[in-house]
Structure 1
Amino acid sequence: MGRPDAFFIPPEQFAAPFSLTGGEASHCAKVLRKRPGELVRAFDGTGHHGLFRIETVGRDRVELIPESLEETPPPARRLHIAAGFSRSARRDFFLEKAVELGAAGIVFWQAERTQGKMPGDPKEAWTAGLIAAAKQCGAALLPTLACVPGGAAGLTKAGQAYPRRFLLWEDPAVSRPLTPTDLAAAGDTLCVVGPEGGFTDAEATTITAAGFIPVTLGPRVLRWETAALAVLALGLASEAR
C-alpha cells in the first residue's frame, strides 16, 4: 500500500472531533474523490499528526476518525535562513525545498538591492506553498515565516534572538568556510543570504558589526536560493555527524 494522501488541519482545529474543512475538504472529496473508510494522513504543521479513517464525506466537511496520533517534537538543532526579499519564482522554489530540507524558520528582509517591495507580513500563498511541500515530503513541522522591515539594521536587531549567527558573504576577502560543525550545535542558528545582486558594503558592515560571522560556501558566485539551500543541506549533513 502506498503512502496515504496528506491533508492539513490548522493547529487550533487539530482536536476531536477531527474534520477537514474549506479547501482541504474540497480537495479530498472533489479532486481525490475519497470515500468513507479510506485512510488518510493529517497534520497541523506544529508536530501533531496521525492516520485517520474517513467517516463521512460532505459538501464542505470531511469527518475523520483517528486511527493513530503522534507528536513530533521540535529538533534540538534548529536552522533558520534570513534571505533578502526576491522575485516570486525563485522564492516559491526556495520555500518548497526549505521544507524538504528541514528549515526551522525563514525570514525575509528588505535589502538595498531587493527587487520590489516586501510585504509587511508573510502572504497566505507562501504558507500554502509550505503546506503543499510538507504534504509531499511527509514533514510534520512547518518552518516559521516572518518579514523583517528596516533593512540590515532591522535584520541585526531581530538576529539578536539567535545564539549563533552567520553571514553568507560573497566578498573574496572572506575565507572562512561554513561547515557542518558550525551548524551542529543544539539551539537556533541564523544564516543570512543576500538578495539577487548581493549585499552592499554598508549592509555587510552593519551585519558583521552586530556579531554575525562572515563565512563562504566556496569560490563560485551562487544565486541566493542556491546558497540558502546549500546551507540547509549542510545542516542535514550535521545531523549525520
Structure 2
Amino acid sequence: MSEHRFYLPPQHWPQAPQDEALLEGQEALHLAQSLRLGPGQRVTLLDGKGRSGEFEIVESRKKKVRLRALDERHEPAPASRAVIALAFSKAARRGFFLEKAVELGAWGIWLWQGDHSQGRLPADIRDSWQAQLVAGAKQCGNPWLPEIRTLAGGIDEVIRQAEADGVDRRILPWELQDGSRMLTPELTGQPGTSLYVIGPEGGFSPRELEALRGAGFLAVSLGQRILRCETAATLCLGIHWWASQLPNNRRS
C-alpha cells in the first residue's frame, strides 16, 4: 500500500473491481496541491469501516481527483473494543484526543453533558470532529473510524446507551479514590466491548457517581495524580490497546 493515505466515505466507494472513484474537497486539494501527485501515481484510500485499497490516479484537478481501483482489503472489526464516554468541555485539547483515539483503536467516542461540564454539548456532531478522526486514520493507517455520539441527556443517557448496546464491561476511572484497584491489563483488553466513563474537568457530581455505581460500573484508579479528562481518556485507551495486543487476548 502507498504511504499516501486519503479518506473516501463508504458511500462513494467503487461498487466493482476496476471501477473509478472520485476524491473531492479537502482530500482532493491535499492530494493535488499539497502533495502534487499526478496521473499514474498510486495512493491508499480508507473508508473508515474497515476497508482500504490501492488506487491509481487517473486525473488530478484542483478539487476533483479521479482514481482507478487496483485492489482492496477488509480488516475485520476488533475482538476487543474500547468505547470512551468523555464528558464534554470547551478544552482545545479535544482535537488531540480525537486523533489519538483513532491511533489507539477506539471503537466509539461518546461525548456527554456532565453536571460539571464547561459549556454546552452541541446537538449535532461537528464536521471538525470527524475531520480530526480522519486525520488520525490517515496518519496511522487504521481503516476503522470510531463512531461519535453526542449524549445531551447526561450520565443517565450514558447508562441507557450502555444497556442498549449490551456493553460487556463498565469501568469508571475516578480520581482521589482510596482502596480502589488500579486499571490493569487484567481488567481491560478482553474480547467484547469495554466502556470507560471519564468525567469533566470539574469532576463527577455526587448524583452522577451514585447513578454509575447503581448501574454496576467498576471504580478504578489511574494513579496518584489528578489527570485532565483528555489525558485520562487517552491513558485508558492506551492500556486497553496494549492489553488487547497480548497473545492471550489476541487468540480469544
When the two structures are superposed, what TM-score results if normalisation uses the length of structure 2?
Answer: 0.90
**Structure 2 residue 200 is matched with structure 1 residue 195:** yes
Provide the C-alpha distance between the structure 2 equivalents of 1:27 and 1:171, rounded to a whole number of angstroms: 46
| Equivalent runs, 1:197-216 vs 2, <5 Å | 197-216=202-221
What's the secondary structure of 2:99's corresponding residue? helix
**Structure 2 residue 155 is matched with structure 1 residue 157:** no
| Equivalent runs, 1:29-108 vs 2, <5 Å | 29-108=32-111
Provide the C-alpha distance between the structure 2 equivalents of 1:186 and 1:95, rounded to a whole number of angstroms: 23
The CA deviation at 1:185 is: 2.0
CA deviations on 1:164-200 (whole Å, 9 max, x unpaired) are: 1111111423512221122232111100010112111
Alignment size in residue pairs: 240
Provide the C-alpha distance between the structure 1 equivalents of 2:176 and 2:110, rounded to a whole number of angstroms: 22
Provide the C-alpha distance between the structure 2 equivalents of 1:167 and 1:159, rounded to a whole number of angstroms: 13
Letter in 1 for 2:69: P
**Structure 2 residue 13 is matched with structure 1 residue 10:** no
When the two structures are superposed, what TM-score results if normalisation uses the length of structure 1?
Answer: 0.94
Unaligned residue ranges in structure 2 (runs of 5+): 247-252
Letter in 2 for 1:172: Q
CA contact under 8 A between 1:47 and 1:73: conserved in structure 2?
yes
The aligned residue for residue 126 of structure 1 is: 129
**Structure 2 residue 118 is matched with structure 1 residue 139:** no
- Percent identity (aligned): 41
Provide the C-alpha distance between the structure 2 equivalents of 1:192 and 1:146, rounded to a whole number of angstroms: 14
Letter in 2 for 1:56: E
Unaligned residue ranges in structure 1 (runs of 5+): none
CA contact under 8 A between 1:174 and 1:215: conserved in structure 2?
no
What's the secondary structure of 2:175's corresponding residue? coil
Letter in 2 for 1:206: A
The CA deviation at 1:135 is: 0.7
Letter in 1 for 2:184: T
